[in-house]
Structure 1
Amino acid sequence: MIYDDTIVALATPPGAGAIAVIRVSGSKAIDIVSPLFHAKGEKALEEQASHTLHLGHIKDGHRVIDEALVSIFHGPRSYTGENTIEISCHGSPYIQQEIIQLLTRKGCRIAQPGEFTLRAFLNGKMDLSQAEAVADVIASDNEAAHQIAMSQMRGGFSSEINQLREELLNFASLIELELDFAEEDVEFANREQFNDLIKRITFVLKRLIDSFAVGNVIKNGIPVAIVGEPNVGKSTLLNALLNEERAIVSEIAGTTRDTVEDEITIGGMGFRFIDTAGIRATEDVVENIGIKKTFEKIDQAQVVIYLIDASHSALRASLSKGENLLGIQTEIEEIKNKYPQKPVVIVVNKIDQVSTEDRSSFEREIQERLITDSQRKNIRLALISAKTGEGVERLQEFLLDFVNTGALKNDQTIVTNARHYDALLKALEEITKVQEGLNAGLSGDLMAIDIRQALYHLGEITGSISTDDLLGNIFANFCIGK
């Protein structure tokens, strides 16, 4: 891929605003913009130093389009590695389009999605994983996702992969050298050291692969299913967590017949809450479909919030008599048996409608009957009033406790990209074959095939190995202007 033309695009979001930034990049960027920009100083743009700002007017002939600030960046000291101009103009959509159309008439081409970052990659300003992280930084909507994307954009992930690849490449070179002296039966690659390297690479690859489970939910939001019988306050809890009237609330049982989803950031982590249809026996066809979806959402969720209505008179009577908790016990046990590792928060709602004595009774009896010693790590109990907000903050603390943020806090590399995950799996598969070959005492020429494949898959991550189709697929998902 060789790009020798000059491209232009709006770098700020489309629409009206205080200012807009139009980006121009390419070998002729300065030459194209210079005749159109009349600076208040005497020097033309091509005579100005790199990384300087200039105030003047953008003109089409004698017609003044706008007063603007122009930034100059000489390649290779620019984002793309090429000569780059950024025009900061007033944010009128009319002005934006007038300037862009003027630039295209003078020789610029409208940029494709992600083409500025693609050129940065092709010009060696960043590797492919760093380029992909640019899109993740733009899309990040919480502190954790932003932290991971920034770490990757700064090259944390790349350096780890490149170090593994370089060490493996050194041994691969020695093994390839042995093939040239096959008749002399010599070994240049120390098999004991090579075995240690393969074990270390295997450990790192497995750690990175395992991190994808955490990284994926951090990037896309941790799904939390809110379940329970009808009319226990699931929709009210969703509204309380989101601090807005997102779900319909009614005293009529079965109001929620489909799942309602929305996202919120708690403690820097993104959570995606799912309000589900109430679980009960019903002949209503539509409601039954909603209940079926409830169990599907439980399956997909990382955490389950199971709501109980503290104001239910029959429930309070069952507690006082030591009886089964109206099927609640059975449903919770069913969830824990099916998903033994899935965290569950048992939430007793509507505590504003019961006495202090009843609150204590709920807490004591539910702890004794529903939470065994072996389950205390993955089951918590919270007493709340979704209507008044009492206890909701404590519930949020429980949700944060369940999230595995150890790798994040320790600044470890976390994989969030499905393409990287797939390449790591393939690399691990080839490294496993190399380990098996070492154990079996295979000759260097046979192991060299698997080593080359492992190097190929590691190179795919950083772009050391890339194709036009791969680059096209990656940068097609970028916004235009980046």
Structure 2
Amino acid sequence: MAQALFSDTIVALSTPPGAGALAIVRLSGPAAVDLTAAVFSKKNLTQAAGHTLHYGTLRDPDSGSIVDEVVVALYRAPRSFTREDVVEISCHGSDYVVRQVLALLLRRGARLAEAGEFTKRAFLNGAMDLAQAEAVADLIAADSALSHRVALNQLRGGFSQELRELRGRLIKFAALLELELDFGEEDVEFADRTGLAQLLAEVRAVVAGLLRSFELGNVIKNGITAVIAGRPNAGKSTLLNALLREERAIVSAIPGTTRDFIEDEVSIDGLRFRFVDTAGLRDDTADEVEAIGVARTRERVSKAALLLYLFDLTQMSPEEVQAEIRELTQGLDLPVMAVGNKTDLATPDAQAAFASAFRIPDAAGPETPLVFLAAGQGQGLEGLQEALVRQVRGSALENTASATIVTNVRHARALEAAAAHLAAVQAGLDTGRGTELLAADLRHALAALGEITGEISSEDLLTSIFTQFCIGK
């Protein structure tokens, strides 16, 4: 994308608001260096080279008072994040100091940046494509090793490069189809239909793979909601506290202590889990509040990504556990893990009976995986965590360091549109449809892929994307 020309200079706080040791105020635009030089003690700033640091003071020219001692980082266009002149002022992190620095620069002619405007300028100036720009926000929000890895891969252009290669191959055929339209009266065929069919098969397979990765990408980006359900006093709240390593839920020997769900997040081996402790499942309660809690449990299970059915090994039989799991998940396509609690109290025979009725998590078979633990004593938690990671990962996450994973809903929708138009092209080839219709469907597919990287975009789309960023980025 050609560099856009912006006549104004923007400024914003780029570090989180609130008192801290340091804060960074960032400027970008044609007057960024001149505005800073006008209030900076080192008057040779306008002559300084890019990628240099300068220590000095900021002074209010009107009052002559010193605002703060600062370090100024100078980046010259086009070797900067936005490809404009950029200045980053490291000042002390007092709210008052930051307000004074911003006010000083605004009075000199800078404009307060809008949300995401620095990254938007980087995109419009050709420093990155739209998918990479969105990865900036994902990288800022990353709170696990996997989400960080996937966002960094996208920021470095892995996803974009794959899309550019796909579009490049399709564009060549699209150009030949358009050429046929120009010579329509002469009944010539420039685009080899056999070659186009082979290319379509390859491209459709790649697009389908990217779409399949979105389910995994959504898990990486947003976390896995794992509902802990079971009968009263099975130890659900105890298990939640043990997983979180804090007393998050009230634990009591009195059945029905938990009336509503309690949830919190924890990262396990790079995956973010949101565990939900729910009200104990029983239908014979006379307590109206507890009955509402049970109803909410069933509703929460229906929205979960994973169900941990927790049961007391000393109180239930394998047949009862299996029956309750079937009843709880009826009509749901929901992965389930059976968790047998209170191994410290259960007999070896009871554990053996469950082990024969279920399967261990790393064994083959369609049955529900089973994990044993004693939540109150913290025994077996490591095994449960390993089983959870295996349940979510399978083999799909083994190569995330190099694989392209789609995590963005907008990207998935665009890929779905591209897949539909590519299918239409294939159908047109199969039925001998005219060149005009083939070319039109291929143009739509190219447009859908181009929307992801911003090669085809609208102002409304850009506004929608960048207003979700934090101000200062």
TM range (shorter): over 0.9
Aligned to 2:185: 183
For residues 228-266 of structure 1, give each alpha carbon's deviation from its aligned partner in whole angstroms, at most 9, with x where no partner exists: 001111011001000011112121211112111111000
The partner residue of 2:469 within 472, 475, 478 is: 478
* Aligned residue type for 1:334: E
Aligned to 1:401: 390
Looking at structure 2, the residues matched to 136 and 415 of structure 1 have their Cα atoms a distance apart, in angstroms, of 12
Aligned to 1:44, the other structure's residue is in SS state helix
Once the 2 structures are TM-superposed, how far is the Cα of residue 194 of structure 1 from its aligned partner?
A: 0.5
* 1:329 and 1:370 in contact (8 A); partners too: no
Counterpart check, 1:214 vs 2:216: yes
The partner residue of 1:451 within 431, 442, 448 is: 442
* 2:8 and 2:31 in contact (8 A); partners too: yes
Aligned to 1:38: 41
Aligned to 1:352, the other structure's residue is in SS state coil
Aligned to 2:67: 65
Looking at structure 2, the residues matched to 362 and 155 of structure 1 have their Cα atoms a distance apart, in angstroms, of 54
Once the 2 structures are TM-superposed, how far is the Cα of residue 334 of structure 1 from its aligned partner?
A: 3.3
* 2:30 and 2:85 in contact (8 A); partners too: yes
Aligned to 2:376: 387
For residues 107-143 of structure 1, give each alpha carbon's deviation from its aligned partner in whole angstroms, at most 9, with x where no partner exists: 0001001000000000000000100000000001000
Looking at structure 1, the residues matched to 321 and 197 of structure 2 have their Cα atoms a distance apart, in angstroms, of 54
Counterpart check, 1:350 vs 2:338: no
Question: What is the count of residue pairs matched by the alignment?
Answer: 464
1:176-325 alignment to 2 at 5 Å?
176-281=178-283, 282-312=285-315, 315=316, 325=319
Aligned to 2:41, the other structure's residue is in SS state strand
Looking at structure 1, the residues matched to 404 and 427 of structure 2 have their Cα atoms a distance apart, in angstroms, of 28
Normalised by the size of structure 1, how large is the TM-score? 0.93
Looking at structure 1, the residues matched to 230 and 436 of structure 2 have their Cα atoms a distance apart, in angstroms, of 61
* 1:127 and 1:462 in contact (8 A); partners too: yes
Looking at structure 1, the residues matched to 435 and 121 of structure 2 have their Cα atoms a distance apart, in angstroms, of 39
* 2:358 and 2:368 in contact (8 A); partners too: no
Aligned to 1:3, the other structure's residue is in SS state coil
Aligned to 2:117: 115
Looking at structure 2, the residues matched to 334 and 260 of structure 1 have their Cα atoms a distance apart, in angstroms, of 23
Aligned to 2:263, the other structure's residue is in SS state strand
1:370-381 alignment to 2 at 5 Å?
370=358, 376=365, 379-381=368-370
Once the 2 structures are TM-superposed, how far is the Cα of residue 2 of structure 1 from its aligned partner?
A: 5.5
Unaligned ranges ≥5, structure 1: none
* 2:358 and 2:369 in contact (8 A); partners too: no
Counterpart check, 1:164 vs 2:152: no
Cα distance, 1:146–1:405 mapped onto 2, change above 3 Å: farther
For residues 76-106 of structure 1, give each alpha carbon's deviation from its aligned partner in whole angstroms, at most 9, with x where no partner exists: 1100110000000111111111000000000
Aligned to 1:131: 133
Looking at structure 2, the residues matched to 261 and 290 of structure 1 have their Cα atoms a distance apart, in angstroms, of 14
Aligned to 1:20: 23
Looking at structure 1, the residues matched to 141 and 345 of structure 2 have their Cα atoms a distance apart, in angstroms, of 42
Looking at structure 2, the residues matched to 403 and 137 of structure 1 have their Cα atoms a distance apart, in angstroms, of 22
* Aligned residue type for 1:347: V
The partner residue of 1:92 within 91, 94, 112 is: 94
Looking at structure 1, the residues matched to 328 and 15 of structure 2 have their Cα atoms a distance apart, in angstroms, of 47
Aligned to 1:466: 457
* Aligned residue type for 1:330: A
* Aligned residue type for 1:234: K
Unaligned ranges ≥5, structure 2: none
Looking at structure 1, the residues matched to 330 and 65 of structure 2 have their Cα atoms a distance apart, in angstroms, of 75
Aligned to 2:424: 433
Aligned to 1:478, the other structure's residue is in SS state coil
Once the 2 structures are TM-superposed, how far is the Cα of residue 377 of structure 1 from its aligned partner?
A: 5.0
Once the 2 structures are TM-superposed, how far is the Cα of residue 351 of structure 1 from its aligned partner?
A: 2.1
Once the 2 structures are TM-superposed, how far is the Cα of residue 378 of structure 1 from its aligned partner?
A: 5.5
Looking at structure 2, the residues matched to 274 and 199 of structure 1 have their Cα atoms a distance apart, in angstroms, of 43
Cα distance, 1:405–1:133 mapped onto 2, change above 3 Å: farther
Q: Supply the RMSD in Å over aligned alpha carbons.
A: 1.9
Looking at structure 2, the residues matched to 372 and 218 of structure 1 have their Cα atoms a distance apart, in angstroms, of 25
Looking at structure 2, the residues matched to 108 and 408 of structure 1 have their Cα atoms a distance apart, in angstroms, of 46
* 2:359 and 2:367 in contact (8 A); partners too: no
* Aligned residue type for 1:45: L
For residues 310-362 of structure 1, give each alpha carbon's deviation from its aligned partner in whole angstroms, at most 9, with x where no partner exists: 344xx4xxx6xxxx75x3231123356644x64322211122234xxx0x222
Once the 2 structures are TM-superposed, how far is the Cα of residue 214 of structure 1 from its aligned partner?
A: 0.8
